Amino acid sequence: MTMPRGLEGIRVLDLTNVLSGPFACHQLVHFGAEVIKVEAPGRGDLARNLGADPALNARGMGVSFLAQNAGKKSVTVNLKHAEGKALFKRLVTEADVVVENFRPGVMDRLGLGYEVLKALRPELIYCAISGFGQDGPWRGRPAYDQIVQGMSGVMSVTGDATSAPLRVGVPIADTIGGLTAAFAISAALNARPRGALIDVSMLESVLVTMGWAVSNFLIAGVEPTAQGNENATSAPSGTFQAQDAPLNIAANKDEQWQALARHIGRADLLERPDYATREDRKRNRHALNAEIEAVLRTRPAEAWVEELAAIGVPAGAVLSVPEVLATEQVAGRGFLKTYSRVPGVEADVRVATTGVKLNHAAPQVETPPPTLGQHNAAVWGALGLGEEDLARLAKDGVI
């Protein structure tokens, strides 16, 4: 069966930098949208110079850029130049979506804000991603992922009593903000009549994902605290040390707890009043964990994982990034895509795609991340600009 590409025929202008916006458009391009990355001449997306490989950073093809820009086209235009503004406006008349993640007010100061662009293209969906939203007392504050993690409360509940507040090890505020934007854009594309201003707050996007913690405070009056590797809602549920490595066990339901106790040869724990109910087990979790771990330490982690999974007790190894990427589960589902001899990199590049399959196939795009301005001739040429026009515009610093 053919994989449906629900955004086929949709043109997106991606004015974004670094992660939240590029990640949003990364989702859209994998579902069929034509994404044109609009970059500043000479420098482009800051992510082109970010990543763990200094040589790629120097070439403007940093790992951070390669990670979420496959399938996109790249054009350069100076939005501070009068001719650049005019060119961009022409491009907007043929676009369905504009995505930007500048600080609130920047596009208005450039004379390219929503009201101006809406007048050119009434059906336009304009998505602005920012740290705190387009209004409110914090609207003008600069915000990176770590700033939002701290202000959202995430860091206050990450780690344990001795290590919190602790930053989550991946940029969750940026990526959650990007996913929220992609979801909102997809919904707006389905509305009739089409046309919307979407205001995505990274702060609020993160708070949405903290629903249980937020609701425990709002409804039950219980302030969330750092629980380390323990699941605050159940026990035994957390990380345990086996003979050779740690593993996670989540015996969240009574029947799972009972199956776990019997399988490790500790059915006697089921008879103890301290562990009789979920609330009892939560109150006495540390003593219970010690009883369980004493048995788990006698055998390798993988043996326990396989046996517990077989009897319906959720369990899993604690893997590193290289380890999980090498598993048959991930490698065998089409989650990773390899691009051969990528221009600007001059080597093969392998990147993650999306976490979705449609009709048994993982969405993928066929073209690698673009070099800066790679598609100037094709995109600007489609607006009627010839080689001489492009040469003059480049000389004048417009593109």
Active site residues: 174
Asked if 342 and 53 count as a contact pair (C-beta separation under 8 A), the reply is no
Burial letters for 292-308: b for 16+ Cβ neighbours within 10 Å, e otherwise? bbebbeeeebeebbeeb
Asked if 142 and 103 count as a contact pair (C-beta separation under 8 A), the reply is yes
3-state DSSP call for residue 315?
Answer: strand
Q: How many CA atoms lie within 13 A of 184 on its CB side?
A: 24
Asked if 32 and 8 count as a contact pair (C-beta separation under 8 A), the reply is yes
Residue 144: which residues within 8 A CB-CB, separation 6 or more? 131
In the numeric block, the tokens 């913690």 are attached to 213
Torsion over CA: 348, 8, 134, 373 (sign): positive
- The whole-angstrom separation of Cα 182 and Cα 300 is 42
Phi, psi of 223, deg, nearest 5: -75, 125
Written as six digits, the tokens of 121 are 């293209």
Helices (H) and strands (E) in the chain, counts: 18, 11
For residue 206, the tally of other CB atoms under 10 A from its CB is: 24
Closest Cα partner for 93 from 120, 127, 126, 125? 120
Angle value at C-alpha 358, between 353 and 363, nearest 5 degrees: 25
